Amino acid sequence: MTGCYWSCAFWWWFFASVDIPVAGTKVFVMPNGMMRSNKQLVDLIEKVKPEIRTLIEKCNTVKMWVQLLIPRIEDGNNFGVSIQEETVAELRTVEGEAASYLDQISRYYITRAKLVSKIAKYPHVEDYRRTVTEIDEKEYISLKIIVSELRNQYVTLHDMILKNIEKIKRPRSSNAETLY
């Protein structure tokens, strides 16, 4: 037992007395411990992200369905085809906007993390701490807007497809087919 004590004491003395340069990133310790994420925002984000992903998946599915209904290119009687193409374009736009919402959420976390690291580096600057609160408030407002936009996009797509469902399903009238 005493051999272990002297051995440990020796190594402690050895490492304490030897000046070994340490390479790597400086690690800063927060005065009040680790700075945590905003729990309420994290909970909201975890509820909103699946809704965004669902919208993207549904748009992709409906877009593929409409694209498969587009007939071969012919002269004349292409009004229904133009409605199909416009529907596909709208679905593509909504899909892109929804993907940008996911990017926005990622940028929030990155921005907040950079700011928190500055707080760790400069704990005496109160403005950094206030900025974290401001960023959190801004993200909360952004999430409210995103949820409203998701609703609006669902309603707009539903309205567009419902009003044009016959032309989407059958872009060319049956009368034109019997003429030939």
Which pLDDT does position 178 carry in this prediction? 47
Q: What is the mean pLDDT of residues 62-75?
A: 88
Distance separating alpha carbons of residues 142 and 148, to the nearest angstrom: 10
Span 3-58, pLDDT tens digits: 555 555 555 555 555 555 656 555 555 556 667 889 999 999 999 999 999 999 99
What mean pLDDT, rounded, does the chain reach? Answer: 84
Q: Which structure tokens are listed for 49?
A: 């992200």
Confidence (pLDDT) at 180: 45
In this model, does residue 166 exceed pLDDT 60? yes
Residue 2 has pLDDT above 60, yes or no: no
Name 95's Cβ contacts closer than 8 Å, sequence gap at least 6: 55, 56, 59, 60, 63
Of 23-32, 143-152, 154-163, the poorest mean pLDDT is in 23-32
Cα–Cα dist 131/60, whole Å:
38
Distance in angstroms between the alpha carbons of the first and the last residue of the chain: 103
Q: Which domains does the chain have, with CATH numbers?
A: 40-169 (1.20.120.180)
Structure-model confidence comparison of residues 172 and 108, the more confident one: 108
pLDDT tens column, 93-103? 999 999 999 99
* Chain centroid, CA 45 distance in Å: 9
Q: Is residue 97 within 8 Å of residue 180, measured between CB atoms?
A: no
Any idea which residue has 């748009």 for tokens?
Answer: 59
Q: What is the pTM of this model?
A: 0.75
The structure tokens 């680790």 sit at: 34
Residue corresponding to tokens 């071969």: 72
